[in-house]
Amino acid sequence: MSRSRSQASEHKYLTVRAYLADLVASELSVGDAVPSERSLTEKFGVSRMTVRQAIDALVTEGVLERAQGRGTFVAPPRADFEMRLTTFGEEARRRGMEPGTDVLEVGTAPAPASVAESLGRATGDPMHHVVRLRSADGSPMSVEEAWIPVDLAPDLLDDGVPESLYGALRERGLAPTWGEDTITASDATVQEQKLLGLRASRAVMRTVRRTFAGDAPLMYSRSSYRGDRYSVFVPLREARPTLVPRTGATDATSTPDPTPTDHLDPVPVPARATEGNDR
């Protein structure tokens, strides 16, 4: 193919993509079907391959989603992670959404080796253990598991699981001041697929977090977020001394950056913007 033909093909692809993106932004709502490939082919006088290329790009960006055997539809907005300390409920309500929580597990359990190591405790030490399914406007968003040493807050779960674990710890003089996250991506487990309502997409974004109160490890948590509803937003600043992410053994006496790194807490955002996560 000559360079001029290649450029013409790229221009047609961008024209179709721009048309669909504008349609989503100005006329269609979440769940609405976009025009069929045949109608787009006829409207723009392009090949079906060009139309598919434009649709594929918007599917990759999270603007559209395909339902096998049914067609292509406007996808729910993605929610971005932004690094800050906040709660899932606070972020959801700030964006006009109603947060929800289903407690899947709660109780006291001996600390597994990985949890104990991360919190500077001995394997088997008693821990408050909470597993929750978090939702926004009735849509499941994440599965969260948290471990907190019992001796830090013996009565933490006496009245059930508080709406916000961070808030409950603050009330006990254990305000979370900083934390560190490790973020990865992988396929969801069978249980996660069921809990999160995953069908076409099985990707989840996983975070492992250590939360601190001053220099003391306060909470260890693991979360799985729907890959089709989240992206990562990372504000940048000029280079300065910072913490080095750690995934194995950690030094409980490590001193944080003088300006604590705000922690990430995700929640769905109507306009494809930022998000926060309740602990």
Cα-Cα end-to-end distance for the chain:
55
Q: Label the pairing between strands 79-81 and 126-136.
A: unpaired
Res 50 pLDDT > 80: yes
Mean pLDDT of 78-93: 61
Contact 125, 110 (CB under 8 A): yes
Mean pLDDT of 233-251: 54
**216-220 own/partner pairs: CB under 8 Å, 24+ apart:** 216/252, 217/118, 217/119, 217/120, 217/250, 217/252, 218/148, 218/152, 218/169, 218/174, 218/176, 219/119, 219/146, 219/147, 219/148, 219/165, 219/169, 219/176, 219/279, 220/115, 220/118, 220/119, 220/146, 220/147
Res 265 pLDDT > 80: no
Q: What digits encode the pLDDT tens for the residues 1-10?
A: 444 444 455 5
Mean pLDDT of 123-138: 94
Which structural domains are found in the chain, ordered by start?
A: 2-74 (1.10.10.10), 79-233 (3.40.1410.10)
- Is this prediction's pTM over 0.85? no
More confident residue, 149 or 69: 149
Split at pLDDT 50, 70, 90, the class of 70 is confident
152 CB-near residues (< 8 Å, 6+ apart): 169, 172, 174, 218
**pLDDT (0 to 100) of residue 10:** 58
Res 189 pLDDT > 70: yes
Contact 207, 222 (CB under 8 A): yes
**pLDDT (0 to 100) of residue 80:** 54
More confident residue, 275 or 39: 39
**pLDDT (0 to 100) of residue 137:** 85
More confident residue, 215 or 273: 215
